[in-house]
Each structure stands twice: as structure tokens, then as C-alpha cells.
């Protein structure tokens, strides 16, 4: 049984989706996404510029378009998921793969999500802290943050790969405190996602989620904020809403999916496959040209 993992906003790059355009079924999905959007995304994916592509309002829909197109390729090849999860905005594509959302509704929700998040007035940022356990990063974030300038762990990507999210001043204080860290890397994102600074976007996002047509999942879904599999549609909705300000528990998610069987990263990215290897989990990437052949030979290995 295959687990499907869908990448998120941090995987965008100029030229993404090029291999998908060579598959007619994937190209049809990419064209459909363009038709659904107020501003088509495919040209920006192909040509950039990068500074526009990585902007929240473009990046989230760009990666979703590739995720949905790659899923169509797997469907055409006869593969079906046994469990699904998505990293941050990738959770919306995962819900489509599980039968919770239709494709058009997925695109509309992502477009709404990206707009609401890009319009948050409070400015913040995110930085990856490499080489420290999450417990130590939590301690440092608590020391660096304040009520007025919050700082939290936003992403648990893998052991030794933790992302903090919050106010710029608190991020600067953390850099001064983290003398035992091997490396701190500033992320090219527009704000402090998965932190309290996203609170202003939550009411509108909750309304959009509650209004979207959804069906019970056909396979288990692992929400970011719980890291535990579920088929409870109300819990899935609540988790999707909480995700805007809540922590992405990706390390737990990968462990859960790996317990079901091998996984494939569904999109045009190798990031999640790399994170899976850090915890000893089995994950292929569809961005690797040999993946489909390998899945055809060993679909459950």
C-alpha cells in the first residue's frame, strides 16, 4: 500500500512542472488550474521571475497545480493511495487525493488560503534551525519570544531540522541565543506561517473551509497539526483550520505513513523524500524519472 505525500510552498522554483507538461493527462490538469484562477500560474512557473513565484499568493497555487497534475499521472498509471498527507498547503492536495475535495474546490480553497495569508498585516518570518533537537529549539524560542513578539516552532520537518516562526525581532534574538546550533537558515517566505501572527487570517479561512463541499475521506488522512491518521471529516476540517497558526508535525506524519508502507512524493519536488530519508522512512519522488518504473515493478516495496 502506497502513502502519498504532497509537498508545500517551500518547494517552488522557476521551471517547476516542466516534466508534467510532457504528460497529456498532467498538462490537462495544469491547463484546468489556469482556467480556474483569476490569474493563470503556468507562465510564472515556467519563466519566473523567482521573486514573484515565491510570493505567497503565487507559490501556494503553483505547488498545488503541480501536486494535482502529478496525482493525475499516478491515477492514469493505476495507482491508488492507502494513506495521504500533505506538508502545509500540500494538505489540500492530499484531501483531494483522499476524495474529500473535488479538484476545482481544492484550487479555490488554495487560492483563498494564499490570499488571506498574504494579506496579514503583521510582518514576521521563518528560519530553519539545523542540528538541534526540537526540545532545545522550543526552549530557545520561548526565551527569544514575548507576548508582543511571539516566536514558536512552526515546522518539525525531521530530527535536527526544525523551523521557527514569528516576529522578526524575536528571530534575531534567537540567532544570538542559539550558540549551540550548527546552522540557522533564513527561509524565503512572506510571513510567519504556522504561528500566532497568522491569527488575522483564521476567521476568513474557517469560513472558507466550512463552506467548501467535502466528503468523508476514502483513505486515512494525517493532518499536520495532529500527526495522527483519521477518517473523521469534522476533525479534518478543524485541523485544516488550525493549521494556519498550528505546528506542522511532519516528523510524526512521516512515521505514521511509513508504518502503513512505502510512500511517494506526489508533485515536482524531492524535498519530502529527502526529509523522509532523515528518519529512515521509505519515500520515492515523482520528480525522479525512474520512480514510475520502480513503482510499476514493486508497487508495495
Q: How much is the pLDDT for 121?
A: 84
Residue 204 has a CB neighbour count (10 Å cut-off) of: 16
**Residue 87 a catalytic site member:** no
**Residue 62 pLDDT greater than 60, yes or no:** yes
Count of residues for the chain? Answer: 301
Identified catalytic residue from 58, 87, 161, 194 = 194
| DSSP 3-state of 144 | helix
Mean pLDDT computed over every residue of the chain: 95
Q: What is the C-alpha separation between 43 and 179, in angstroms, rounded?
A: 43
CB of 191 within 8 A of CB of 123? yes
Identified catalytic residue from 58, 87, 88, 165 = 88
**Residue 16 pLDDT greater than 80, yes or no:** yes
pTM of the full structure: 0.96
**Structural domains of the chain ordered from first start:** 2-120+197-296 (3.40.366.10), 125-190 (3.30.70.250)
Across the range 252-277, mean pLDDT stands at 96
* 124-130 β-sheet, strand order: 183-186, 124-130, 161-167, 151-158, 248-249
- Which DSSP helix (H) or strand (E) runs through 133? none
Closest-CA residue to 243 (of 218, 221, 216): 221
Sorting pLDDT into bands at 50, 70 and 90, what band is 301?
very low
Q: How much is the pLDDT for 1?
A: 81
pLDDT tens for 64-88 read 999 999 999 999 999 999 999 999 9
Residue 219 has a CB neighbour count (10 Å cut-off) of: 20
Better-scored residue on pLDDT, 247 or 121: 247
pLDDT tens for 190-201 read 799 999 999 999
Closest-CA residue to 8 (of 81, 89, 78): 89
Share of the chain above pLDDT 70, in %: 99
CB of 284 within 8 A of CB of 294? yes
Sorted by sequence, the CB contacts under 8 Å of residue 293 that are 6+ apart come out as none
Closest-CA residue to 4 (of 280, 260, 293, 289): 260
pLDDT tens for 207-246 read 999 999 999 999 999 999 999 999 999 999 999 999 999 9
Q: Which three cell numbers stand for residue 174?
A: 534567537
Q: How much is the pLDDT for 181?
A: 72
DSSP state letters, 69-87: HHHHHHHHTT--EEEEEES
User: 238-243: long-range contacts (C-beta < 8 A, 24 or more apart)?
Assistant: 240/91, 240/92, 240/95, 240/209, 241/202, 241/205, 241/206, 241/209, 243/88, 243/91, 243/194
pLDDT tens for 149-184 read 999 999 999 999 999 999 999 999 999 998 877 799
CB of 270 within 8 A of CB of 9? no
* 263-265 β-sheet, strand order: 81-86, 2-6, 263-265, 283-285
**Residue 88 a catalytic site member:** yes
With left for phi above 0 and alpha for psi between -120 and 50, is residue 146 left, alpha or beta? beta
Sorting pLDDT into bands at 50, 70 and 90, what band is 39?
confident
Q: What is the C-alpha separation between 271 and 281, in angstroms, rounded?
A: 13
The rounded radius of gyration (Å) of the Cα atoms in the chain is 18
CB of 174 within 8 A of CB of 137? no
Amino acid at each position: 500500500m502506497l502513502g502519498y505525500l504532497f509537498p508545500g510552498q517551500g518547494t517552488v522554483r522557476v521551471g517547476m512542472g516542466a516534466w508534467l507538461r510532457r504528460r497529456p493527462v498532467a498538462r490537462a490538469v495544469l491547463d484546468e488550474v489556469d482556467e480556474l484562477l483569476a490569474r493563470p500560474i503556468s507562465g510564472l512557473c515556467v519563466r519566473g521571475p523567482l521573486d514573484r513565484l515565491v510570493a505567497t499568493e503565487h507559490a501556494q497555487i503553483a505547488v498545488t497545480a503541480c501536486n494535482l497534475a502529478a496525482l493525475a499521472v499516478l491515477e492514469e498509471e493505476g495507482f491508488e493511495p492507502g494513506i495521504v498527507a500533505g506538508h502545509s498547503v500540500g494538505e489540500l492536495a492530499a484531501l483531494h487525493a483522499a476524495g474529500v475535495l473535488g479538484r476545482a474546490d481544492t484550487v479555490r480553497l488554495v487560492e483563498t488560503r494564499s490570499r488571506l495569508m498574504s494579506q496579514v498585516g503583521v510582518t514576521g518570518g521563518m528560519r530553519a534551525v539545523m542540528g538541534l533537537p526540537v526540545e532545545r529549539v522550543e526552549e530557545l524560542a520561548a526565551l527569544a519570544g514575548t507576548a508582543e513578539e511571539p516566536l514558536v516552532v512552526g515546522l518539525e520537518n525531521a530530527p535536527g531540522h526544525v523551523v521557527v516562526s514569528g516576529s522578526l525581532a524575536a528571530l534575531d534574538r534567537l540567532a544570538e541565543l542559539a550558540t549551540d546550533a550548527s546552522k540557522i537558515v533564513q527561509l524565503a517566505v512572506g510571513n510567519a506561517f504556522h504561528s500566532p501572527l497568522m491569527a488575522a487570517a483564521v476567521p476568513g479561512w474557517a469560513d472558507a473551509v466550512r463552506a467548501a463541499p467535502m466528503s468523508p475521506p476514502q483513505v486515512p488522512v494525517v493532518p499536520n497539526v495532529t500527526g495522527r491518521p483519521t477518517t473523521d471529516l469534522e476533525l479534518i476540517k478543524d485541523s485544516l483550520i488550525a493549521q494556519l497558526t498550528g505546528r506542522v508535525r511532519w516528523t510524526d506524519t512521516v512515521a505514521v505513513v511509513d508504518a502503513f508502507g512505502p510512500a511517494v512524493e506526489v508533485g515536482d519536488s524531492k524535498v519530502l523524500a529527502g526529509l523522509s530519508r532523515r528518519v529512515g522512512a521509505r519515500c520515492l519522488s515523482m520528480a525522479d524519472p525512474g520512480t514510475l518504473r520502480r513503482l510499476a515493478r514493486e508497487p508495495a516495496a
